[in-house]
Structure 1
């Protein structure tokens, strides 16, 4: 796992000048989108353990979590936070469920454009929609491929999203919002295109749980 205190997205990729890194020549627009499509198109499903950190604009860690995730395209996701608290997010392709067992509460939100622009759900969606909704830039960093996505629309949850691939495996996601706060997610124990029980993406609301239905 890399030092998440030191590494950060920039307007194209990560701040190479601050880290003393040497990047290859950037690949722009259509070529970069084509390369990203070549990476994501074969990805039918994906599962991995993750470590997530939220950093403020100065790189100070605000929050960390770890857990496991499963996704199956199109639109299916299960994201389980194990520590320091328990939380589950499930997308069944129609609705997204956010379950907090400590609060005995589940929030339900219909899948729409804004929800699907969260980092994990982006991966489970259509590659064509992805490249239509974002400007895509590509650079190499020490043998890894870095794709930086900048939203075309202003109505998004982040200003930049970077995907890092080591060969064919997605190993990191970086997101930066308008305040400069960053979310860094590192994946391990990665398995792609294996058999995932589709019941993983069904969510049954536990008896006695408060249900909040959000309308966009």
Structure 2
């Protein structure tokens, strides 16, 4: 079982919160993301182990709805569902018949991706942002945490200059492990139903309640 959602989710919120505070990023980018009420996007994630050099590739789809609801479905190499609700976060591993419950307030108390996605992080206060110019047709920004944590010492994001959308994010932890997420097939979904961001453990599933 691999519980990696705090580092994995940081990427989405970089889109939604303050990407325009980086030097050289125009106001049009911020306007684009301010206008988002909800969306779905396909992802391809690569997790690199610095010690062994091994890379695990994960693929699936993410849904987001203001004000901070997230449904993160990983389809391969294993089926995993992360649901971020208003008060509770669920991480469900279908193949292992296991669901883990967290209090949203506990998850958001540290500097992680869920905090960014929920809009509770202030990018301009927590990072030094450097505009690295263009790379392969995308705007590249480097983000250095003002107060680094073991799970995040450096982040890089790439933004599509035409659509003003985030296309890729790379996160590096204290040990040099890399977490790279590519985003494709972005679709605006302003009317996503609230029940998409709710989860009830199926009958027979083992529940670990870490919310108390």
TM surpasses 0.5: yes
Q: Given the alignment of the two structures, is residue 110 of structure 1 paired with residue 103 of structure 2, yes or no?
A: yes
Gaps of 5+ in 1: 1-28
Q: Given the alignment of the two structures, is residue 44 of structure 1 paired with residue 40 of structure 2, yes or no?
A: no
1: CA distance, partners of 2:127 / 2:189? 25
Q: Given the alignment of the two structures, is residue 86 of structure 1 paired with residue 82 of structure 2, yes or no?
A: no
Gaps of 5+ in 2: 1-19
Cα distance, 1:43–1:50 mapped onto 2, change above 3 Å? same
Tell me the TM-score normalized by structure 1. 0.73
Cα RMSD between the aligned structures? 3.0
- Where in structure 2 are the equivalents of 1:67-216 lying within 5 Å? 67-112=60-105, 115=108, 117-119=111-113, 121-126=114-119, 129-142=122-135, 143-155=137-149, 157-167=151-161, 168-192=164-188, 194-214=190-210
1: CA distance, partners of 2:185 / 2:153? 29
Q: How many residues align?
A: 187
1: CA distance, partners of 2:133 / 2:62? 26
- Whether the 8 Å CA contact 2:39–2:64 is kept in 1: the answer is yes
CA deviation profile, 1:148-203 (whole Å, cap 9, x unmatched): 33223344621122222112111112110000010111111111354322221111
CA deviation profile, 1:93-151 (whole Å, cap 9, x unmatched): 222110001111111111237547433x3552227633333333322223422233322
